[in-house]
Amino acid sequence: MTEFGLLQTGLLLGLYVLLAGTWGLLYAVARLWSTAIFRGAAAVVYGLHGLTALAIIVRTPLGMGWKCLIVASSLAFLVVPPIAWRFLQHIHENESLEHDRKSSQHSGRVVARL
Amino acid sequence: MHFNDPAFWRAGAISTIVVMSVVLIMLTIDSLAAISPGGSHVPPYTVINQHIEYKFVAERGIEVPVIDGDQPLFGKALDADTATALIGQGKMVIQSRACIDCHTFFGNGAYYAPDLTKAWLDPAWEGWQAITGADTREGAMVKFLMDPEQYRTWTRTMPNLAITEAEARATVAYLKWVAAVDTNGFPPNFARIQTNP
Amino acid sequence: MYRSQHLAVKYFAAAITLFGVMTLTGLMSAYYYLNPEFLFGILPFNIAKILHIDTMVIWLLMGFIASIYWFLPEELGREPAGIRAAEILFYVFCTAVAVVAVVFVFVQYGGSNETALWFINQGRKYVEAPRWAAIGIVVVMVVFAYNVIGTTLAARKTTGIITVLMVDLVPLVVLYLIAFPALSNMSEDLFWWWWLVHLWVEATWEVLIGCIMALALMQLLGTSRRIVEAWLYIEVALVLGTGILGLGHHYFWIGTPDYWLTIGGFFSALEPLPLLGMVVHAVYDAGAKHMRATNRPALYWMMAEAFGNFIGGGVWGFMITLPQVNLYAHGTQWTVSHGHFAFWGAYACGIIAVIYLVLQKTRNLTYVDGLLWRWSFAALNVGLLGMIGALLVSGFAQAFVERAIGGSTLQAFIAGQENAWFIEGMVFRFLLGIVFAAGYVVLVWDLLALGRRVPAVAATSAAE
């Protein structure tokens, strides 16, 4: 790898994950506040993340296996925020449905009798 | 519905950890064989009696240590036990002076002073031989280690760590052995100018 | 308040004190780069650095221990077993740390013999403490493990979180035994050393802070136990699922077989995924309370934890984790940039959050807010971001000049260190380090003063 290729690759990889994180953040905020602007922003950021992934594939000297990993990771980054949000909603909804809120002070729930 | 039950996720956590740990242990057993002296990647300590180079190998696409011919340290070939003892003392010097908190070995350590992985092969020692008046590379290295403040080359100076001659010789032997370890090409392009875009 | 909670407060105080020593010695270490004659012949760079990195490890460990001592009695409804031993050991621990530091500074090194390793300096990074002190640390941790496990036995009950903690304590203590041997073979030495360092900071410590954050979330947001437990198990599965074999990203260049390049690179490339989940979780929790809780600094520091962990560990780590890049970035200030950012985000922010939660209880405050915590939050985080940004620039320059172009010889090293961008980075790292240090001073001020100006706090909360 050339010295410039090194910096370019490192920066692209960092940007790739940063944009994935920003997409996750904006997705979560959009779900929280239900505003179109954040939904739009989230989509734009994920698009930029996709472009970064494409740049990594086209412009870096990584091997084919690693480029496949980048593509697979992008798909994983796409689904992690919605799955995480839906899961959080689901378990919190179930909590309130079952009226299962306990205070943290005296709630030594027995998992195992010793 | 089982997604709500922590026990479901607990089972997932336990199985994941068990699988990953088993794989790690298996790979560790394999790696320990490779990194033992005389293993596939780490030379026996008697390599200090031989000539070491660092050459590019096309099949692996990296530089690897090449061990060929005799080049005994300080003009005297050592048997396996003596070499092992010398290397052991060298490592004690390196630990007692906390070299790894200024320098790096295989890139691990602190970044205030140079990486020592291939220090044995550094072209700078030729100049040091002249400065120290030593006959050999190892002679120059010993003189430097015993009084680094006398042989300053740069604004950042290595301090005098009261290294005795015996300790210096052991350390030099250690550095020669370290240079012969196959590090999968680290550091890259050692002592070669990059010409390939 | 339980006795272990009083002990927790003492451990937090010790932790914050060592945080200060870490900051001071960090500034010193940074200054050597700018003035290589600094303390030359008096205190070499490596001693300042040893103090800096070792106080980091110990202040965080003390913070973990303190957090558990705080939450444990309320979790299990009784005073922890063996608390008297723990109380005594606290003073022994602090004294030992002080003695070790004094010996580091005034003796510095001995001869190349076992005596030096037993009494002065073991010379392996992060675990330089002489063997006698390492034994002390094992004793402290074993008693701590007893405090946890013995209490569950005495109470004849446990909780999901405490069970995870107990299981985690076993590798935590056992791995530390790697601090003792002095192996001749550097490859083997580093192989096992990375079991300790990586499986502490990227595995067992992650689980430990996960347990602590679970306990803290229940207190801060009133989140139900079942939810935090489910989340804790998911987090443990994902973090250890990627982190155990992610250990391989330290096995690229130490003389190990080259299959580690694939295995280590692959698994550590997956490590950002669980961290992304934590970011989403953090937003969910923040939203649930509209960024208001009864303890504003605690909430903000926990948000900093989630984001710092993702960006410092995940983003910065991903830049350098693939072997193709790591070959050049390895052993440069690029690594330093990642290390500072990751430790800050993953652990330091979380411990500070817990300290604010604890103070809310010990100072009897219904509502925690104010001006001082905002200034310290800003200064510490801006200072830290400035430092890691500067280190990134220096790291780029060093990887570029020393590794890629120069081939890592002595001359290449010097060329990298004298590169203008490298030097600028070092200058700004020092300057922003001063900002960080100022933030630390304000943090200490706030922690000491919190709740002791009740009218001001009440007025602020009334105005909210």
What are the domain boundaries of chain A? 3-97
In eight-state DSSP terms, residue B115 is B
Whether the full predicted model's pTM is greater than 0.90, yes or no, is yes
Are B2 and C226 a contacting pair, CB within 8 Å?
A: no
* Start-to-end Cα distance in chain C: 30
Which of A8, A62, A91, A100 should one mutate to test binding to chain B, selecting the residue with the greatest count of B CBs within 10 A? A91
- Beta partners for B52? B67
| C28, part of any domain | yes
| C46, part of any domain | yes
Cross-chain residue pair C407–B191, CB shorter than 8 Å? yes
Cross-chain residue pair B197–A2, CB shorter than 8 Å? yes
Q: B3 CB near a chain A CB, below 8 Å?
A: yes
- Evaluate if residue C309 carries a pLDDT over 80: yes
Cα C149 to Cα C162: distance, rounded to the nearest angstrom: 9
| Distance in Å, alpha carbon of B2 to nearest chain A alpha carbon | 11
**Location of structure tokens 């604004």:** B155
Are C192 and B24 a contacting pair, CB within 8 Å?
A: no
Residues of chain C found within 8 Å of residue A69, distances taken between Cβ atoms: 266, 269
Q: B16 CB near a chain C CB, below 8 Å?
A: yes
Question: What are the pLDDT tens digits along chain A (114 aa)?
Answer: 888 899 999 999 999 999 999 999 999 999 998 889 999 999 999 999 999 999 999 999 999 999 999 999 999 999 999 999 998 888 888 766 654 444 444 444 433 433
* Tally of structural domains, chain C: 1
Cα B187 to Cα B107: distance, rounded to the nearest angstrom: 8
User: Which helix (DSSP H) or strand (DSSP E) does residue B55 occupy?
Assistant: strand B50-57
Q: B63 CB near a chain C CB, below 8 Å?
A: no
Burial B24-58 (b: 16+ CB within 10 A, else e): beebbeebeebbebebebbbbbbbbbbebebeeee
Q: B154 CB near a chain A CB, below 8 Å?
A: no
| C17, part of any domain | yes
| Distance in Å, alpha carbon of B140 to nearest chain A alpha carbon | 33
| C318, part of any domain | no
**What confidence category does residue C289 fall into, taking pLDDT thresholds of 50, 70 and 90?**
low
Question: What are the pLDDT tens digits along chain B (197 aa)?
Answer: 577 788 899 999 999 999 999 999 999 999 999 999 999 999 999 999 999 999 999 999 999 999 999 999 999 999 999 999 999 999 999 999 999 999 999 999 999 999 999 999 999 998 899 999 999 999 999 999 999 999 987 999 999 999 999 999 999 999 999 999 999 999 998 976 433 33
| C45, part of any domain | yes
Question: What is the per-residue pLDDT for B194?
Answer: 37
Cα C116 to Cα C98: distance, rounded to the nearest angstrom: 18
Cα C248 to Cα C202: distance, rounded to the nearest angstrom: 12
Distances (CA, A) of B14 to A112, B79, C226, C240, C268: 16, 50, 18, 10, 20
Domain range holding C146? 1-182
CATH code where residue C44 lies: 1.20.210.10
Question: What is the per-residue pLDDT for C453?
Answer: 62
| C259, part of any domain | no
DSSP string, C187-231: HHHHHHHHHHHHHIIIIIHHHHHHHHHHHHHHHHH---HHHHHHH
User: Which helix (DSSP H) or strand (DSSP E) does residue C254 occupy?
Assistant: none
As for the ipTM of the complex, it is: 0.95
Distances (CA, A) of C321 to C167, C309, C347: 29, 16, 20
For residue B187, say if its preceding peptide bond is cis, omega within 30 degrees of 0. Answer: yes
Mean pLDDT of chain C: 94
| Interval C362-389 mean pLDDT | 96
Question: What is the per-residue pLDDT for C400?
Answer: 95
Burial C258-277 (b: 16+ CB within 10 A, else e): bebbebbbbbbbbbbbbbbb
| C353, part of any domain | no
Cα C189 to Cα C202: distance, rounded to the nearest angstrom: 19
Cα C158 to Cα C112: distance, rounded to the nearest angstrom: 49
Residues of chain C found within 8 Å of residue A95, distances taken between Cβ atoms: 224, 226-227
| Distance in Å, alpha carbon of C386 to nearest chain A alpha carbon | 17
| C410, part of any domain | no
Are C159 and A108 a contacting pair, CB within 8 Å?
A: yes
DSSP string, B139-176: HHHHHHHH-TTTT--SSS-PPP----HHHHHHHHHHHH
Task: Specify the pairing of strand B104-105 against strand B108-109.
Answer: antiparallel
Cross-chain residue pair B194–A90, CB shorter than 8 Å? no
Q: C326 CB near a chain A CB, below 8 Å?
A: no
